[in-house]
Amino acid sequence: MEKRPSHLCSARVVNTFIAYGVVIIIFLICTTTELVLQGSDHAFWGSPRWRGLAYQYGGFWRGLLDNWQPNYVAQPVVMFASYGFLHGGFLHLLVNMITLISFGRLMLERVGQWRFAVIYALSLLGGAAGFAALSNAVQPMVGASGALFGLAGALTGWEYTARRLAHEGIGPVLRVIGLLVGLNIIMYWAMGGNLAWETHLGGFLAGWAAGWWVRERDV
């Protein structure tokens, strides 16, 4: 049996991290956080109260923008980013991480790591802004889907621009948008209305704008 030299394996790991480091870091933060909370939920460690505390301190609470009392001074600002690294359970995490890896690879090939990080961050903030502007929910909002819809927005925006420059029809772009709208409607119905569509909309629009600002490498 042939064995690959250890230095080649190490080089491959390093090269992979160099190519996909931002996505890997986001993946690890989200996954590690949920695994810790899963362990506390099942009394493997810590306390069953950990998930509730994580949501209290890191979730996006619409009321904190009105007259609610924050748990710490910076919470009304920090929550615009921290919500994106918490999830509502393993299935929620799984769906989002699969989407992150799929979209992340496409984005990194087109813009590189730093521009990807900028688009992701702006989409994350845009998702929170959308929820803040459109939602009246009293429960916390968590999940990376706002930023992920932002990645979809950036990719869709690039496709729209490319088709306009090539004087081609934008039918495929409209179909993608229609698919995303339909997906949200189905999820909203399946989840009994417990879907932060406002976050998805805000993230998508922010991602589209960020993608226009942070251009592709070959543009």
Point out the residues that are catalytic.
145, 200
Name residues whose C-beta falls within 8 Å of residue 208's C-beta, 6 or more positions apart in sequence: 153, 154, 156, 157
Q: What is the C-alpha to C-alpha distance for residues 47 and 24, in angstroms, rounded to an integer?
A: 28
Q: What is the C-alpha to C-alpha distance for residues 198 and 203, in angstroms, rounded to an integer?
A: 8
155, two tokens: 């990719």
Query: If residue 127 lies in a helix (H) or strand (E), which one and from where to where?
Result: helix 90-134
**Residue corresponding to tokens 């590690």:** 32
Q: Cα 71 vs. chain centroid, distance in angstroms?
A: 24
Q: What is the C-alpha to C-alpha distance for residues 103 and 122, in angstroms, rounded to an integer?
A: 16
